[in-house]
Amino acid sequence: MRRVLFLVAAVMVVATSARAQQVQVVDADGQGIPLVSVLNDDGVIVGITDLEGCLADVKGTQRLTFTHVAYKPQTVVLSQLSDGRVTMEDLDNNLSEIVVKPKSYIYIETYYRAYGFINDSLRYYTAGIMPNAYDAEKDKLETGSLYNCCGEFYPSMGVSLVWGARVRNLNPGKIHTPTAKSLQSGGKASKKYYLTLTDVGNGRQRISNAEGTVGYIDTRNGQSRTTLDAGKAQMYANKVNGEYRLQKLREDKDYSYRYTDIFDIDTEGNSDMTDLVMHTNHWEWNGSRGRDKLIIETYTTDRGYKDQKEWKARKKELKKEYTFYMTLDQLEEYATSHNIPALTPNMRAVIEGLKKKKK
């Protein structure tokens, strides 16, 4: 009888540990945080929170790490969550004020990290420094070349160059007008994707189309944070515009694209290209090797105005100061010196494992 009771208890423990649980990630005000990456100790991505900060069907009692470009990483043991809530603390970026008299070039220097997952396992990683400039007089964007993208790539040089080029092309450190500004003014983003804004209180605006909510704009603490499910917005626009071929291509690949823009704002809520603080992009699609996921985090480390001579000099300075190849230690030293959260120990171990595979 005692043995039977023990077996029943063991089965109940296993069933409890395997039971799916919903987790919600919130900020200090209890508001859900979208696009939080959730990973286990093996660097496997368990999921990404939705627009309300929720992640459904999390199973087991494993330790999980929650990361987001605007918050300090948080590690928890799932079984120890009493209410299924994880609270993340804001990251203080400490960007200096721009006091230089405006010149023709708007300059933003960024530090980026890019994670490439296949079937939820980390396969590629790169990080580096990217100088960017916008020539206001010619309305022209200029970015650093790959040789100004200083970083360490995994797992092979051939793959590194391909992914390095992809990161450069997709690098959100490129200077652009805030999404919020375009939406609030009824600009290009609103018209192109048929998006509308609704004030829902507490500094939050809902972004929606005819099919429902696709994002939020949160305005607080001198910042504007826009999170948009751009994949949904794009596919709805494809359907409305009769772009059925593109719509089908995206549907066949089960395409998903979501991002968060974070800009400083003034007392009247305005921001422009010089005010970029952070940005994160999440892409997913069905690839030839399985489910591909690409996550890019970008942090602004310097910003201001330069003339053409100063812009060219800064690119040369970066190339001289940092070699094309930087070690993981050097990259993390740069991150720490600019108040960017270090890689979590488990993610660092997984990346080091990629390095060993490369050899």
Rg (Cα) of the chain, in Å, rounded?
22
Alpha carbons 257 and 283: distance in angstroms, whole number: 5
* Angle CA 107–172–266, to nearest 5: 60
Alpha carbons 265 and 2: distance in angstroms, whole number: 66
Number of other CB atoms surrounding residue 204 within 10 Å: 15
pLDDT of residue 171: 61
DSSP 309: H
Alpha carbons 12 and 14: distance in angstroms, whole number: 5
Tens digits of residue pLDDT in 55-80: 987 876 688 999 999 999 999 998 88
The DSSP result for 23-79, as a single string, is: EEEE-TTS-B-SS-EEEETTSBEEEE--TTSEEEEE-SS-EEEEEETTEEEEEEEGG
Alpha carbons 143 and 244: distance in angstroms, whole number: 34
Cβ atoms 65, 55 nearer than 8 A: no
Nearest one of 114, 91, 124 to 173, comparing CA atoms: 114
Least confident window among 80-94, 164-178, 283-297, 338-352: 164-178
pLDDT of residue 233: 96
Tens digits of residue pLDDT in 9-33: 444 444 444 566 889 999 988 899 9
Query: For residue 67, which phi and psi values (nearest 5 degrees)?
Result: -130, 145
DSSP 234: H
Tens digits of residue pLDDT in 224-278: 999 999 999 999 999 999 999 999 999 999 999 999 999 999 888 888 888 889 9
| Domains detected in the chain | 12-87 (2.60.40.1120), 105-358 (no CATH)
